[in-house]
Structure 1
């Protein structure tokens, strides 16, 4: 049985990083990337830990193993990860300080557990566990990651804007 909760210890954070590594484009084939999706950002343990202290990451655990995660990224971390800086600038342009948002810094489900509703349940748990005062969850998805775009649309995410940074097209999406 899969348990959904906030990450509580170093072992769980290390398991998040292990799952992340197994789904980075550099560690999967291009065919797998197209069919299964991928994650973009490679976090350090220190940054992941600091983010978790501000707002606990949401994890799916099966038999003491993290099999899915949704990273909570408080806007105060906007400058910590270079590839995400443009996303935060776009969000700030859109909301103009009128909405308090939590960024979902990355979501991933282990290959062994896909197709079981874990993606949806991670977001439901994230909504339940958000600190008081946050109105919306915002994230961005690489335009090439069609699986992720479709999965987010299925659970109610709406596109706020599409922008280009470097050679990538990014879709900034929100769930109210």
Structure 2
């Protein structure tokens, strides 16, 4: 049985990092990336803990083992992870429903991952449902950016209810889609 909860212990955070490491694009073949998707950012334990202390990450656990995670990040973490600073800068430029994203109260999906062998079982959707339930009263929507070449993730986020509001190319040539999941329509 899968339990959907929030990260509360250092062990939870260490297991998130282990799952993250297994799914980093840098360590996957082109075939694995195309078939299973990937994650881009490698967090330090300290950064992950700092984010979790502000808003706890959502995790899926089976027998005390993290088999999925959905990282919770707020604007307070903007300067903590340098690779994500350009994303927050985009939020100051891009508009959503006639306002700059930065003018809203939003929750950033810092990253999402489901362990191999657990994919296709509704875990991502259930984690997002828990995420919305935890944060919908404090934040107006969830937002993130997804590498356009990560079609598995793009499709999964569309299924959950995210809509693409902006696309751009980063200086390294990677194409990104900023996606929003509005909670309080």
Q: Which runs of 4+ in 1 moved over 6 A?
A: none
Give RMSD over aligned pairs.
Answer: 1.2
SS at match of 2:103: coil
For residues 47 and 148 of structure 2, the distance between their equivalents in structure 1, rounded to whole angstroms, comes to 25
For residues 63 and 140 of structure 2, the distance between their equivalents in structure 1, rounded to whole angstroms, comes to 33
For residues 7 and 23 of structure 2, the distance between their equivalents in structure 1, rounded to whole angstroms, comes to 19
User: Could you tell me how far 1:131 is from its partner in structure 2?
Assistant: 6.8
Partner of 1:155: 160
Whether the 8 Å CA contact 1:55–1:131 is kept in 2: the answer is no
Partner of 2:119: 114
Whether the 8 Å CA contact 1:74–1:102 is kept in 2: the answer is yes
Partner of 1:88: 88
Partner of 1:175: 181
**Count of residue pairs the alignment pairs up:** 176
Partner of 1:3: 3
Q: 1:130 aligns with which of 135, 141, 145?
A: 135
Consecutive unaligned residues in structure 1, runs of 5 or more: none
Partner of 2:73: 73
For residues 92 and 155 of structure 1, the distance between their equivalents in structure 2, rounded to whole angstroms, comes to 25
SS at match of 2:23: coil
**Deviations, residues 19-69 of structure 1 (Å, cap 9, x unaligned):** 000000122221101110000000000000000000000000001100000
Consecutive unaligned residues in structure 2, runs of 5 or more: none
For residues 105 and 81 of structure 2, the distance between their equivalents in structure 1, rounded to whole angstroms, comes to 20
Whether the 8 Å CA contact 1:104–1:137 is kept in 2: the answer is yes
**Deviations, residues 108-141 of structure 1 (Å, cap 9, x unaligned):** 0001100000011111110111174310000010
TM-score (norm 2): 0.92
SS at match of 1:84: helix
For residues 84 and 121 of structure 1, the distance between their equivalents in structure 2, rounded to whole angstroms, comes to 26
